[in-house]
Amino acid sequence: MMEYYKEGLYYRGELKIAITQDSINGQKRIHMSVSHFSRLPTWTELKIVREELLPMNRDFIMFFPREEDYINLHPYCLHLTELKPSDKLNNFIDRKDGKEPLT
């Protein structure tokens, strides 16, 4: 199980993956961008690179910002952002391990 990550640029077949650490609201978060030159990455591709390159002991989300906050630098790119335990969204996670949602 991957429990660490390394920032950088990776290639997996036709996918290009960038892993960075971003600061959002004063908290450092892992951010992964996954792009393909001619189509959106598939769910399976996204899942494979997430499991290969990001820590499995952390949660990640893909979200859609409001239209006015949307930035599209690449037409075929998806993003995963680390979800922190203090994020309210954690209240919606139904954990399979029987533990209570993170608060």
**Residue 46: inside a domain:** yes
**Residue 3: inside a domain:** no
* pLDDT surpasses 90 at 30: yes
- pTM to 2 decimal places: 0.79
Question: Which pLDDT belongs to residue 91?
Answer: 59
Distance (Å, rounded) from C-alpha 24 to C-alpha 22?
Answer: 6
Per-residue pLDDT tens digits for 57-100? 999 999 877 888 877 788 999 999 998 888 776 555 555 655 55
**Residue 99: inside a domain:** no
Number of folded domains that form the chain: 1
**Residue 1: inside a domain:** no
**Residue 54: inside a domain:** yes
Domain extent, residue 30, equals 8-92
**Residue 41: inside a domain:** yes
Which residue would you say has higher pLDDT here, 2 or 38? Answer: 38
In terms of Cα–Cα distance, which of 94, 75, 43, 83 is closest to 59? 83
